[in-house]
Amino acid sequence: MLATRQRADTLAHSEPAGPPRSLWADARARFLRNRAALAGLVILILVGGFAMLGPLIAQNSIEEINWSILGNVDNAGGPCFLSGPDNEIPPCSETGLWFGTDAQARDLFARTVQGTQISLMVGMIGALIAVIVGTLYGAIAGYFGGRIDNVMMRIVDVLMSIPYMFVLILLLVVFGRSILMLFVGIGLISWLDMARIARGQTLSLRGKEFVEAAIATGVPPMRIILRHIVPNLLGVVIVYATLLVPSMIIYESFISFLGLGVQEPLTSWGALINEGSDQMRQGLWMLAIPLFFFVVSLFAFFFVGDGLRDALDPKDR
């Protein structure tokens, strides 16, 4: 009895609770409490700033050859912090060779900037294509159900049984090696997992009251899918897209590492890593610098994706 009275007094003197927070406000608060996800977001902002502002800092073109360094035995000069008596590089403030040069005596800073731009662009656009196609496909299959759902998902099963990398390499060989084919090949094949996820979520949403009310008022099926089903899939879609971007970057880097990706004079992280791996004895920086950007960006994307997944998980609310 005494404990009950003390508990009542405590509740009576406690401060009134604030207004309830929305789903997105609650998710934002929980995301900001995740230090790993927050650190990953900061890293991604820095990498994005490097990709956007790098061309303003680079003083040399990606194709410009430093002929004074090309005459050396190694055919490459180290970055600013390795300049010394054995490294014939003029001061960086004069040459702009902040990351040194590659084996062809081209500015590695300018090439790393372009490699970052292309790798991030391929990853984000490829993930965007996969998310759009997969979400619409899965939502249509899950909403209509029955025979339509069965046929559409059997098509997904057949496509998933085909080796993904083999198809991508075949597309690049048959239709030519270009950035456009990378976008199409990576994006239009990687939507299969997103279709399954969207279909499963749609099956649980189509029996909700707001969907039944829309059907009762005569709203067309495609309008229900676009205005009622898809917006309720945004949480899952955002999380999956964040986790899909690093996968797209890995695929592009692997293809470029094999020499089937972007072609000269363009470059990407995979192409730079491939070139640096051939010059490890002459200059380790040619491998270490693009590899650093590649690894750090991948970990940052994974941390942000995990943070968003935890923040948007309704079981944690």
What stretches of the chain adopt beta strand conformation (E)? Answer: none
Region of 297 on the Ramachandran plot (φ > 0 left; ψ -120 to 50 alpha; else beta): alpha
Largest Cα–Cα distance in the chain?
92
Question: Average pLDDT of 159-168?
Answer: 79
- State the pLDDT at residue 70: 54
Amino acid at site 105: A
Question: Average pLDDT of 300-312?
Answer: 83
Q: In a 3-state reduction of DSSP, which class is residue 68? A: helix
- Closest C-alpha among 313, 304, 316 to residue 124: 304
- State the pLDDT at residue 59: 75
- State the pLDDT at residue 14: 44
For the segment 60-106, what is each residue's pLDDT rounded down to a tens digit? 777 776 666 555 544 455 666 555 444 444 445 555 677 777 777 78
Question: Mind spelling out the 3-state secondary structure of 227-254?
Answer: HHHHHHHHHHHHHHHHHHHHHHHHHHHH
3-state helix, strand, coil in the chain (%, to 5): 70, 0, 25
- State the pLDDT at residue 69: 57
- State the pLDDT at residue 54: 86
Question: Which residues pair with residue 65 across a beta bridge?
Answer: 106
From CA 268, how far away is CA 50, in angstroms rounded? 14
From CA 100, how far away is CA 87, in angstroms rounded? 10
Quickly state the pLDDT bin for 20 (edges 50, 70, 90).
low
From CA 241, how far away is CA 231, in angstroms rounded? 15
Amino acid at site 70: L
- State the pLDDT at residue 110: 85
Above 50 in pLDDT, residue 247?
yes
Question: Average pLDDT of 160-172?
Answer: 78
Amino acid at site 304: V
Cβ contact 137:143 at 8 Å: no
- State the pLDDT at residue 77: 59
- Closest C-alpha among 55, 79, 125, 51 to residue 293: 51
Above 70 in pLDDT, residue 308?
yes
Above 90 in pLDDT, residue 127?
no
Cβ-based neighbours of 137, under 8 Å, separated by 6 or more: 152, 156, 191, 195, 198, 199
For the segment 29-66, what is each residue's pLDDT rounded down to a tens digit? 887 888 888 999 999 999 999 999 988 887 777 777 66
Cβ contact 308:238 at 8 Å: yes
Q: Tokens in use for 260?
A: 């089937």
The mean-pLDDT minimum among 103-117, 126-140, 180-194, 287-301 falls in 180-194
Whether omega for the bond prior to residue 265 falls within 30 degrees of 0, making it cis, is yes
Q: Tokens in use for 52?
A: 């956007």
Quickly state the pLDDT bin for 136 (edges 50, 70, 90).
very high
Q: In a 3-state reduction of DSSP, which class is residue 107? A: strand
Above 70 in pLDDT, residue 237?
yes
Question: Is the pTM for the entire model greater than 0.85?
Answer: no
Q: Tokens in use for 188?
A: 């239009």
